[in-house]
Amino acid sequence: MPPWVAVALNLHDYQHHGLDPSGELSKYAAREDAAADITSVLEELTRRAEVLKGGVRRSGELEKALEELRQTLTRRAQ
């Protein structure tokens, strides 16, 4: 399983169980940790969308959404 899939599954647990300092139900004890993993999954999805976009018919809306996501991730990284 690719590492980013494991992160997405951890985020799924977080969605259902919230923060869990004990680590039994969710890997996240702090919101900042969850936010960092959300950002990493979004970055991976953006990379994968870029690879696929040449073979997919897309509307202007999709292109606009991808650009907004790229800009947001760039601002967060700074």
Percent of the chain topping pLDDT 70: 91
Q: How much is the pLDDT for 70?
A: 84
**If you ran DSSP here, which 8-state letter would residue 12 be given?**
H
Q: How much is the pLDDT for 55?
A: 64
Question: pLDDT tens, position by position, for the chain (78 residues)?
Answer: 788 899 999 999 999 999 998 888 899 999 999 999 999 999 898 888 877 776 666 677 777 888 888 888 888 766
Q: How much is the pLDDT for 45?
A: 87
Q: How much is the pLDDT for 4?
A: 85
Helices (H), 18-56: 31-52
49/67 Cα distance (integer angstroms): 11
**If you ran DSSP here, which 8-state letter would residue 59 be given?**
-
